[in-house]
Structure 1
Amino acid sequence: MALTGKLEIDVEIKAPPDKFHDMFCNRPHHSQHACNDKIKGCDLHDGDWGTVGSVIFWSYVRDGKAKTLKEVVEAIDSEKNSITFRVLEGDVMKDFKSYVITIQASPKSGGEGSIVHWTMEYEKQHEGIAHPEDALQFAVEISKDIDSHLTQGN
C-alpha cells in the first residue's frame, strides 16, 4: 500500500472561472457566508489575501465534527484561475505528513460556467491511514455552495 497519493475531482458550476478563483484567492474569508454549515471561520494569520506565502487558518465542520486547518498559499496563477495551498497544521495533519490542495477553475467548453478541478496530493503518516476520498465529497459540496452564493440573483 502506497503512502503517497493523489485524488482529483471535477465539479461543474454556473459561476465564471475568475469569480470562483477570486473567492479562494482574494476573499476566502467570505466563503463562510456561502458555506456557513461547513466553514465557520477563515482568518489571515500572516501576509495579505491573494498573495503567495500568506498563512490562512480555517475553522470548519466535517462529518459533524469541528476541525481546524492552517495552510500557506504556495502558488497563484490568475491567468489559469489556479491556487495551491500546503497544509501546515490542523486535524488533517494527524494522519498525513504532507497535504497539498490545488483548485483550478476553467471555462466550460460550449457554454457558460466553469469546471472546478480539485487536486489533493498527500503522504500518509503510515499504511493504516485510509486514502482521503471523503475530502473529495467535501470539495464538491463547498464548490456547489460557493457557486450558489456567486450566482444568486443571476
Structure 2
Amino acid sequence: MPYAATRTLPQQHTRITTNGKAAPACPGHAGVPDEAAQHHEHPLAAGQCCSAIVHEIAAPVDEVWALVRRFDQPQAYKSFIKNCQLVDGDGATVGSVRELVVVSGLPADNSRERLEILDDERRVISFRILGGEHRLSNYRSVTTVHEAAAPDGPFTLVAESYVVDVPSGNTAEETCIFINTIIQANLQNLARKVLR
C-alpha cells in the first residue's frame, strides 16, 4: 500500500498526572520505534503532562537528521522561531545554550534552551527549556529519527515527545493540544523542507 509523502500518525499519546500519580490509562508510546522508546519515557511529577507524536516523511533518514540535529538552527524547519543565537557552546556539544526569539502571534516572546542529548549514531536530540517569556515550565523535549522500510523508496519516522508543567489556568488537555499543534506544524514543515 502506498504511503503519503508526509503525515502525522494517529498513534500519538498524551499522559497526565493527577494527585502526583500518572494517569493509569496511558496507552504508551504507540508508533515510537522500539529502539527509541527508552528516550521517550518521561518521569512525571504532579501537575505535569507529556505527549509523543510520530511523523512519517518519504525522504532519506540522513537528510531528515541533518536538519533535526541542528540545535543552532531550529528555525530551518521550526516555523514559529524568528531567530536563534547561541549564548554558550557550539551547538553540537551537550550543554550548549541557545536563545530563541519567537514569531509574533504566539503567547511567547523568547526562550532560553540547553542541549541535553545529541547522539548522531542513534539520531537522538534533546533539549530543556531554562527560561524565557512564555508559559512552558520544566519543558523537556526528545526527538528521534529512524530509517524505516518502504517499497517505494526512502522513508523516515520522526518521533518527538515532551514533558511539561501544566500552566496555571490551563488543563493538561489544553496544554497538550497547544504543544502538539506546534510540534505537528514543525514536523510537517520539516517534511516540506526535505522534500524540496
Fold similarity call, TM over 0.5: yes
1 or 2, which has the higher helix percentage? 1
> Please, which of 114, 117, 136 is the counterpart of residue 72 of structure 1?
114
Which amino acid in structure 2 is aligned with residue 116 of structure 1? V
| 1:40/1:59 contact within 8 Å kept | yes
1 or 2, which has the higher strand percentage? 1
Percent identity for Structure 1 against Structure 2: 23
Q: Where in structure 2 are the equivalents of 1:2-151 lying within 5 Å?
A: 2-26=46-70, 28-29=72-73, 31-36=74-79, 38-61=80-103, 64-65=106-107, 67-92=109-134, 94-96=135-137, 98-111=138-151, 112-124=154-166, 128-131=169-172, 132-133=175-176, 134-151=178-195
RMSD of aligned Cα (Å): 2.4
| 2:136/2:164 contact within 8 Å kept | no
| 1:17/1:81 contact within 8 Å kept | no
CA–CA distance in structure 2, aligned partners of residues 24 and 8 of structure 1: 16
- TM-score, length basis structure 1: 0.80
Task: State the number of aligned residues.
Answer: 147
Whose radius of gyration is greater, 1 or 2?
A: 2
| 1:71/1:85 contact within 8 Å kept | yes
Structure 1 unmatched ranges of 5 or more = none
| 1:95/1:129 contact within 8 Å kept | no
1:32/1:81 Cα in 2 relative to 1: closer, same or farther (>3 Å)? same
CA–CA distance in structure 2, aligned partners of residues 64 and 82 of structure 1: 27
1:11/1:24 Cα in 2 relative to 1: closer, same or farther (>3 Å)? same
How far 1:148 moved relative to its partner?
1.3
Q: After the TM superposition, which parts of structure 1 deviate over 4 Å for at least 4 consecutive aligned residues?
A: 33-36, 62-66
Greater shift, 66-75 or 10-19, is seen at 10-19
Structure 2 unmatched ranges of 5 or more = 1-17, 19-45
1:85/1:27 Cα in 2 relative to 1: closer, same or farther (>3 Å)? closer
| 1:42/1:56 contact within 8 Å kept | yes
Q: Deviations over 1:64-112 (max 9, x none)?
A: 45531111001112122110101101234x352x110011111133252
